[in-house]
């Protein structure tokens, strides 16, 4: 299959899924999320033994499409949140190891997609964060559950409460990414890592991934369910409308 907003490319048994909206800093809209879901299904069906997620141009995924989000009702926000969760969950459950190649901005939903991958490698110029609070909402695609498990409770609360953006080295120190490399070496490092992973026994690798995921399966499921309800409930509030309008209009928000 082919899509307008994502690319699925192969190098042997390694599949690379690239979000290809560079003019929009690879922001995720409905079309892109649906395409990502289809591409992940195709990669799994074709037997990928490792999968790389990255973005075209100078961004990884700068977040979700705020112009689309700003006028959503609670019910529409619930549907939007569910679509993002479907993709993040597909990454987390992908039958082979997944690597986020964070080549630039990874904010909001982009950070959440990176966290749903098994491993994260960041270019030195990358900036990473869950910035939803400044839009009058909370993370809606898994960060309230995945982020504390990666960086610890205190750091996760600071990142989510304050919308802090971390540079690559700070993200590595916090445990959010596993490796930081010079920008011009990212592609080679990712290629070598993906090739190493793809060379391992596929069934054992899949089993290891499933076993590791079991360490947080039950509590994460209930946490995600709560996050879905809480995320949707904020659509239609003054702060959500004002936060997103201010972003679109490039001004400071006037929250209640």
What's the CA gap between 146 and 149, in Å, rounded? 5
Contacts of 22 (CB under 8 A, 6+ apart): 55, 56, 57, 58, 59
Nearest 5°: the CA angle 146, 128, 51 is: 65
Q: What are the residue numbers of the active site?
A: 112, 132
Straight-line distance from the first to the last Cα atom of the chain, in angstroms, rounded to the nearest whole number: 47
Query: How far are the Cα atoms of 41, 97, 192, 219 from residue 198, in angstroms, in the given order?
Result: 18, 8, 10, 30
The rounded distance, in Å, linking the Cα atoms of 29 and 228 is: 18
Tokens of 256: 């209640």
Q: Where are the alpha helices (DSSP H) in the chain?
A: 30-45, 66-69, 74-93, 109-115, 143-151, 153-162, 168-174, 186-198, 202-213, 217-233, 238-249
Alpha carbon distance 240, 118 (integer Å): 31
């Amino acid at each position: 299959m082919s899509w307008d907003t994502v690319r699925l490319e192969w190098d042997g048994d390694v599949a690379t899924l690239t979000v290809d909206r560079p003019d929009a800093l690879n922001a995720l809209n409905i079309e892109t999320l649906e395409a990502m879901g289809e591409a992940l299904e195709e990669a799994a069906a074709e037997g990928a033994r490792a999968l790389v997620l990255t973005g075209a141009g100078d961004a990884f995924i700068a977040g979700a499409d705020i112009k689309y989000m700003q006028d959503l009702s609670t019910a529409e926000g619930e549907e939007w949140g569910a679509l993002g969760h479907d993709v993040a969950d597909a990454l987390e459950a992908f039958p082979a190891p997944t690597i986020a190649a964070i080549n630039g901005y990874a904010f909001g939903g982009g950070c959440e997609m990176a966290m749903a991958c098994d491993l994260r490698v960041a270019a030195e110029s990358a900036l990473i964060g869950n910035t939803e609070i400044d839009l009058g909402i909370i993370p809606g695609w898994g960060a309230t559950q995945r982020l504390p498990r990666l960086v610890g409770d205190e750091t996760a609360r600071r990142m989510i409460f304050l919308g802090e953006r971390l540079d690559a080295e700070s993200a590595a120190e916090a445990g959010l990414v596993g490796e930081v490399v010079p920008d011009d070496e990212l592609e080679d490092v990712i290629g070598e890592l993906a090739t190493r992973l793809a060379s391992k026994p596929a069934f054992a690798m899949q089993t290891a991934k499933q076993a590791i995921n079991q360490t947080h399966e039950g509590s994460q499921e209930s946490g995600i369910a709560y996050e879905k309800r809480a995320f949707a409930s904020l659509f239609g509030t003054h702060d959500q409308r004002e936060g997103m309008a201010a972003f679109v209009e490039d001004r400071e928000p006037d929250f209640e």
